[in-house]
Amino acid sequence: MRLFAAIAPPDKLRDRLVALQAGLPSGRLTAWENLHLSLAFFGELDGARAEDLHAALGGVRAPEFDLTFDGVGAFGGARPRLLYAGVGASPALFHLHDRVAQAARDAGVAMPAERYAPHVTLKRLKPGEMPAGRVARWLAGGAGFFAGPVPVRDFRLYRSTLGRVAPVYDEVARYGLAA
Ligand code: 3AM
């Protein structure tokens, strides 16, 4: 199964994130129920490895924190491939990411060394789907977006099933943070 860990936005924040999608082409928009802030992507794991991962994630000790969501952005430079809502600077979020990645390594899951770039994916772009000017206008329109403080009291393990139209994310487990 394909697994990843993420923070689930509260419903009211999901509503505001969906509002940011207004005016974007309709293909590959992240659906309301799929909106998430990824902590780590673990890839395809067999049942035994997934059990080890679940046990290791259950052992993560990290404090609760609050997050802000701030502005929008695009990955991919001159050929944007993903539009996202940004996350305010948060040492606690990076700390949690580090703990989760280390737990995964302890469970024998290979983790990429690349730097963690917190974001909430709003839309994936096909090459040429949006002209540069339209992307720039969307970025300018979302620049003032702000939400928070949003309390983060747990993180979750999701199974991702790739579909022809959109992936389905099922929550597998929830891990509380320390008060
Ligand atoms: O929506 P975001 O970007 O936060 O990009 C995928 C998505 O995160 C990411 O895992 C989340 C659930 O699918 N993802 C999928 N395949 C990936 C891969 N091969 C990946 N991240 C890194 N490497």
Interface pTM (ipTM) of the complex?
0.91
In short, whether 160's Cβ falls inside 6 Å of ligand 1 is yes
In short, whether 4's Cβ falls inside 6 Å of ligand 1 is yes
Q: Is the pLDDT of residue 165 over 90?
A: no
Task: Convert the pLDDT of each residue in 39-87 to its tens digit.
Answer: 999 999 999 999 999 999 999 999 999 999 999 999 999 999 999 999 9
In short, whether 41's Cβ falls inside 6 Å of ligand 1 is yes
Q: What is the mean pLDDT of the chain?
A: 97
Tell me the CA–centroid distance for residue 41 and ligand 1, in Å: 6
The number of the ligand 1 atom at minimal distance from the alpha carbon of 2 is: 13
The CA-atom distances, in angstroms, between 141 and each of 22, 84, 113, 138, 174 are 10, 13, 33, 5, 35
pTM of the predicted protein model: 0.96
Using most ligand atoms within 8 A of CB, pick from 4, 93, 119 the residue to mutate for ligand 1.
Answer: 4
Tell me the CA–centroid distance for residue 20 and ligand 1, in Å: 21
Task: Convert the pLDDT of each residue in 6-38 to its tens digit.
Answer: 999 999 999 999 999 999 999 999 999 999 999
Element (H, E) at 95: helix 91-106
